[in-house]
């Protein structure tokens, strides 16, 4: 008897969810603009396999403070079966730090020690072409993420008579990654749960991002979101193949999405 009641409740809930999903305005949301704030932490490691080990972004370079930056996304959907939907998301981080090294580090064939300062500029644009594997209360998306990373970092030794400066450059080419996403539409409480990721790893080179969020509909065409976002890359120094740059940015975010 208990099993029958549970099955009945599941069927009723699924029918209710499906009905609410089907009653939505089909055209609303074909264009969506999302803007928000990301409380971002910078971390990672510069790995030098032959010399003096790893240089940590937080412990050695001093990137221990979070920053609030703007994030932006544009979503374009269509009703043409063979034409993919498009999602474009972007962020730009400018950060700086200072610290005192307790032992020397050899980075990009330059030895630095003592008091150092560092600046980095990291921006990323993801153009995601995707389609629906399944639409309903549970939505599965699959597609291709065309990622462009711009990364430039300078590390300078402050107490040197001769200027010692290290420059690190991130990957310059477009990166093509598989993309998957899951959405759970809880329309009876005006809420959507979402998780998405894209990742590609080839040898010592890697690009990865993921995010998950809870999205609450405050009006018919406006959602407020709270979630967690992670982006990272690994790239090999073109002048020293024993040196790998592993950079990570991550943290919680809040945003507002408007549907048109």
Q: Which residues of 93-105 are buried (b: 16+ CB within 10 A; e: fewer)?
A: bebebebebeeeb
Estimate to the nearest angstrom the gap between the alpha carbon of 131 and the chain centroid.
20
Contact predicate 61/103, CB 8 Å:
no
Token pair of 99, please? 């610290």
Residue 6 has pLDDT above 70, yes or no: no
Cα pseudo-dihedral 255, 256, 259, 260, rounded to 10: -110
DSSP-assigned states of every residue in 238-255? TTEEEEEEEEEEEEEEEE
The alpha-helical segments, DSSP class H, found in the chain are: 2-22
Whether the CA torsion 251, 150, 91, 213 is positive or negative: it is negative
Higher pLDDT, 232 or 80: 232
Residue 237 confidence (pLDDT) = 87
**What gap in Å lies between CA 164 and CA 173, rounded to an integer?**
28
Q: Is the pLDDT at 5 greater than 80, yes or no?
A: no
Mean pLDDT of the region 85-98:
97
**Average of pLDDT values for 184-208?**
94
Neighbours of 1 (CB within 10 A): 5
Position 20 pLDDT exceeds 90: no
pLDDT of residue 102: 85
Beta bridge partners of 105: 112
Q: Average model confidence (pLDDT) for the chain?
A: 87
DSSP letter for 170, please: -
Tokens of 41: 């932490």
Position 135 scores a pLDDT of: 77
pLDDT of residue 42 exceeding 90, the answer is: yes
Helices (H) then strands (E): counts for the chain: 1, 12
The distance in angstroms from the start CA to the end CA of the chain is: 47
For the stretch 112-151, pLDDT in tens is: 889 999 999 999 999 999 998 887 889 999 999 999 999 9
Looking at residue 204, what is its pLDDT? Answer: 82
What is the torsional sign of CA 198, 67, 56, 109?
A: positive
> Residues 35, 184, 19, 134: what is their CA dihedral angle, to the nearest 10 degrees?
100
Q: Which of 15-24, 101-110, 120-129, 186-195 has the lowest mean pLDDT?
A: 15-24
Domain architecture of the chain: domains with CATH: 29-259 (2.40.128.90)
Question: Is the predicted pLDDT of residue 72 greater than 90, yes or no?
Answer: yes
Ranges 16-20, 105-109, 209-213, 238-242: which has the least confidence:
16-20
Q: For 141-167, how does the pLDDT look when each residue is reduced to its tens digit (9 = 90+)?
A: 999 999 999 999 999 998 766 678 899
Contact between 87 and 102 under an 8 Å Cβ cutoff? The reply is: no
């Amino acid at each position: 008897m208990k099993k029958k009641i549970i099955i009945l409740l599941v069927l009723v809930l699924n029918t209710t969810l499906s009905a609410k999903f089907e009653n939505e305005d089909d055209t609303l949301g074909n264009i969506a603009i999302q803007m928000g704030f990301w409380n971002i932490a910078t971390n990672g490691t510069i790995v030098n396999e032959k010399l003096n080990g790893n240089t940590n972004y937080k412990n050695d370079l001093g990137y221990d403070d979070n920053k609030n930056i703007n994030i932006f996304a544009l979503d374009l959907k269509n009703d043409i079966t063979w034409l993919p939907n498009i999602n474009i998301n972007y962020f730009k981080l400018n950060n700086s730090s200072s610290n005192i090294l307790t032992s020397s580090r050899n980075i990009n064939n330059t030895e630095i020690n003592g008091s150092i300062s560092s600046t980095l500029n990291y921006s990323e644009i993801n153009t995601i072409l995707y389609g629906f594997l399944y639409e309903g209360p549970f939505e599965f998306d699959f597609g291709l993420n065309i990622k462009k990373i711009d990364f430039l970092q300078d590390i300078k030794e402050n107490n040197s008579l001769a200027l010692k400066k290290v420059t690190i450059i991130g990957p310059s080419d477009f990166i093509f990654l598989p993309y998957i996403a899951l959405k759970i539409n809880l329309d009876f409480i005006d809420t959507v749960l979402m998780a998405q990721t894209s990742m590609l790893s080839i040898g010592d080179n890697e690009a990865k991002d993921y995010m998950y969020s809870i999205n609450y509909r405050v009006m018919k065409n406006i959602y407020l979101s709270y979630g967690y976002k992670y982006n990272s890359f690994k790239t090999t120094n073109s002048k020293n193949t024993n040196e790998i740059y592993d950079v990570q940015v991550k943290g919680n975010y809040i945003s507002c999405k408007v549907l048109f």
